[in-house]
Amino acid sequence: MPDFRFAVAVMPKPGILDPQGRAVEQSLGHLDVEGVHDVRVGRRVELTVQAPGEEAARAVAARLAEELFSNPLIETYALELLA
């Protein structure tokens, strides 16, 4: 069975307070950077799924993204086929 490599990008939902993003933003002055705003920090998970076809592999990755990698109450995710 072929391998399919996916990336799942998980981000805090819009409107959810993201203290990590805020802390990063507050430190930008130390780097003498100006004009940067709305910093949000998420996470990225990459995984390889062995499946008969892309559709089946994508279904597995989507299930994991929804049930494990993200919490739908507070986060959104985007699934991307890498290879």
Partner 1 sequence: MRVGVVRFPGSNCDADAYHAVELAGAEAVYLWHEEADLHGSDAVVLPGGFAYGDYLRAGVLARFSPIMRSVAVAAGRGVPVLGICNGFQVLAEAGLLPGALLRNEGLRFVHRWVALRLEGRGTPFTAALPEGIVLRMPVAHGEGRYYDEPARLDELERGGRVVFRYIDNPNGSLRDIAGVRNEAGNVLGLMPHPERADEPLLGSADGLLLFRSLVESAAAMMGARR
- In the bound complex, what is the minimum distance in angstroms from residue 52's beta carbon to partner 1? 25
Assigned token pair, 25? 């933003």
Residue at 78: amino acid letter: A
**Looking only at residues 28 through 47 of this chain, which bind partner 1 when binding is defined by CB under 8 A?**
43
CA–CA distance, 44 with 17 (Å, rounded to integer): 19
Q: Which stretch binds partner 1 (CB under 8 A): 1-9, 16-24, 32-40, 47-55?
A: 16-24
The residues pairing with 12 across neighbouring beta strands, listed in sequence order, are 75
CA–CA distance, 45 with 5 (Å, rounded to integer): 11
Closer residue to partner 1 in complex, CB, 33/68: 68
Residue 73 lies near partner 1 (rule: CB under 8 A): yes
The residues pairing with 4 across neighbouring beta strands, listed in sequence order, are 49
Would you tell me which residues interact with partner 1 (CB under 8 A)?
16-17, 19-20, 22-23, 43, 68-69, 71, 73-74
